[in-house]
């Protein structure tokens, strides 16, 4: 079952261009409104529409993983990619808080992150995985990287009957490892990965 959409995202053309043109030091803003029907609007632009109540707003700024330093596992981050993450998650029927937690643990919102194994970008896609979603160029560009990563997670969630933990394990260690062990593999890295993402998912659910 796909995630029930209760959010609406408004991203202006200028904001889309911002992702492509923004300098690493630029800041942005996110506005969260409650609409008259009770649903949520997450946008980069203020609105004065009748009945729309501003629930909260916040400034965002770029974060980088800092090379081999621990990438902020302990607490939520207000990243400049929040709107992109929410929009793409909803497009594929996944919870924005879940996808944001994945991005947080994978790359700490560093769109140029590159692992020793060759995983790339915000979603830390391996070249073969990226290629399977027609991503062979601009692999570090935020929009196509997140799009391919979310598509991959959607496929895993479908495969594992929306079991987040199994899907995360497969995202980290591969579906073959999950099948081999008929569950989360006994790899310390994978087990820690699942715990970290699920912890942040619960925290982000309170914000998104």
pLDDT digits (tens, 9 = 90+) for 118-160: 999 999 999 999 999 999 999 999 999 999 999 999 999 999 9
In a domain, 2, yes or no: no
The CATH number given to whatever domain includes residue 160 is: 1.10.530.10
Confidence (pLDDT) at 18: 30
Residue 141 lies in a domain: yes
- Locate all alpha helices (DSSP H) within 22-123, ordered by sequence: 82-91, 96-107
- Express each pLDDT in 178-188 by its tens digit: 999 999 999 99
Give a yes or no: residue 1 inside a domain: no
pTM beyond cutoff 0.85? no
Arithmetic mean of pLDDT, 39-43: 78
How many Å apart are CA 79 and CA 76, to the nearest integer?
A: 9
> 151-179 in b/e burial notation, b at 16+ Cβ within 10 A?
bbbbbbbeebeebbbbbbbbbbbebebbe
Bridge partner list, 41: 8, 33
Q: Which domain holds residue 109?
A: 7-205
Examine residue 190 and state whether it is found in any structural domain, yes or no.
yes
Count of domains forming the chain: 1
The answer to whether the beta carbons of residues 4 and 36 sit under 8 Å apart is: no
Question: Which sequence positions are flagged as catalytic?
Answer: 106
Question: If you average pLDDT over residues 93-116, what whole number do you get?
Answer: 93
How many CB atoms sit inside 10 A of residue 18's CB? 17
* 134 φ/ψ sector (left φ>0, alpha ψ -120 to 50, else beta): left
- Rounded to whole angstroms, what are the CA distances from 37 to 44, 55, 74, 95, 179? 20, 14, 34, 20, 43
Residue 131 CA to residue 140 CA, distance in Å, equals: 13
Radius of gyration of the chain (CA): 17
Put residue 75 in one of left, alpha, beta given phi > 0 → left and psi -120 to 50 → alpha: beta
| Closest to 105 measured CA to CA, from 188, 9, 171 | 171
To the nearest whole number, what is the mean pLDDT of the chain?
A: 83
180 assigned to some structural domain? yes
């Amino acid at each position: 079952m796909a995630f029930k959409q209760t959010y609406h995202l408004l991203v202006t053309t200028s904001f889309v261009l911002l992702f492509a043109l923004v300098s690493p030091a630029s800041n942005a803003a996110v506005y969260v409104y409650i609409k008259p029907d009770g649903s949520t609007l997450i946008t980069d632009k203020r609105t004065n529409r009748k009945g729309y109540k501003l629930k909260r707003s916040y400034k965002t700024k770029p974060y980088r993983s800092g090379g081999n330093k621990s990438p902020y596992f302990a607490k939520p981050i207000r990243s400049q990619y929040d709107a992109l993450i929410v929009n793409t998650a909803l497009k594929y029927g996944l919870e924005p808080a879940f996808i944001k937690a994945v991005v947080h643990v994978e790359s700490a919102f560093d769109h140029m992150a590159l692992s020793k194994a060759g995983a790339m970008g915000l979603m830390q896609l391996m070249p073969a995985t990226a290629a399977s979603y027609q991503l062979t160029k601009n692999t570090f560009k935020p929009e196509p990287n997140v799009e391919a990563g979310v598509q991959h997670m959607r496929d895993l969630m479908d495969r594992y009957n929306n079991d987040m933990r199994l899907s995360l394990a497969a995202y980290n260690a591969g579906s073959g490892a999950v099948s081999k062990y008929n569950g989360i593999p006994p790899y310390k890295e994978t087990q820690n990965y699942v715990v970290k993402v699920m912890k942040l998912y619960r925290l982000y659910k309170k914000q998104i």
